[in-house]
Amino acid sequence: MTDETVQPGDFAPPAPGTPPPPAATGTAVAAAGAIDATKRYGRGESEVIALDNVSVTFERSKFTAIMGPSGSGKSTLMHCLAGLDSLTSGSVFIGNTYLAKLNDKELTELRRKAVGFIFQAFNLIPTLTAEENIKLPLMLGGDSGDKAWFQEVVDTVGLGTRLKHRPSELSGGQQQRVAVARALNARPDIIFADEPTGNLDSRSGAEILDFMRRAVREYGQTIVMVTHDPGAASYADRVVFLADGRIRDEMLEPTAERVLDRIKQLGD
């Protein structure tokens, strides 16, 4: 390894002349963000611009929703921020680390330690119990975790009596609670949630969103959620609106009605 090798958590500018991540604006500290982020698919006449020079930051210990019409680039932005996809140009960062400077091993390590994921499809291992699924990300790194924190997370999401059950023995809402607990148990710097209530009925979805809201308010967790649901977005502190790969607007202290009106204006 040379001295240019970047370890997760180190500051690593992507190119000479590129400014460091905007770690603070006033008293707001950025947990993640993008600078002039562009993502293109295909070439020539078949080229699709999913992200078009997007610059945005996501504040630490806040709940941010990303919304926009179908094809607006919201999922692409989240996947690039989380290191699941790469940009055509521009930069994304988590904390003080630019993702483009990490090799595959370092990026995997950063995602394991600093990032939590909640997906629409739950992504649980069917042969493992709920408890084993919750502990899996830490176990993969040889970490037994904090027992007191694990119990607090389990109590928060109401899974105390279901820990020995496998996913097939749980309802959809319970499976998503396991996924939320898995993300929280590792105490990541930031959690990315992609349509986390998309496969749930309205009651189960509201419970999951309430758990996520509590994680932000009570434990200082940072959550960035992609959703098409104005009701889900109303649980957030802030909503960022995308259309045609660009940020068109944002809203603080959103309500479902205000969000729906804004989405209609964007063409969804």
Using CA atoms, how far residue 117 sits from 85, 113, 120, in Å, is 14, 11, 10
**The predicted structure's pLDDT at residue 138:** 86
**The predicted structure's pLDDT at residue 22:** 53
Residue 203 and residue 210: Cα distance in Å, rounded? 11
**Per the structure block, which two tokens stand in for 9?**
């958590």
Total residue count of the chain as it appears in this document: 268
Fold of 60-83+101-266: Rossmann fold (3.40.50)
C-alpha dihedral sign at 50, 235, 170, 114:
positive
The tens place of each residue's pLDDT in the chain, 268 residues long, gives 333 333 333 333 444 444 455 544 444 689 999 999 999 998 888 899 999 999 999 999 999 999 998 889 999 999 999 999 999 999 999 998 999 999 999 998 898 889 999 988 889 999 999 999 999 988 887 787 789 999 988 988 889 899 999 999 999 999 998 998 999 898 899 999 999 888 888 888 898 899 899 989 998 999 999 999 999 999 999 999 999 999 999 999 999 999 999 988 877 5
Residue 220 and residue 130: Cα distance in Å, rounded? 24
**The predicted structure's pLDDT at residue 139:** 84
CB 178 within 8 A of CB 167: yes
- Record the pTM: 0.84
**The predicted structure's pLDDT at residue 12:** 38
**The predicted structure's pLDDT at residue 45:** 83
Report the 10 Å Cβ neighbour count for 108: 13
**The predicted structure's pLDDT at residue 28:** 64
**The predicted structure's pLDDT at residue 127:** 97
Residue 152 and residue 185: Cα distance in Å, rounded? 9
C-alpha dihedral sign at 161, 119, 167, 108:
negative
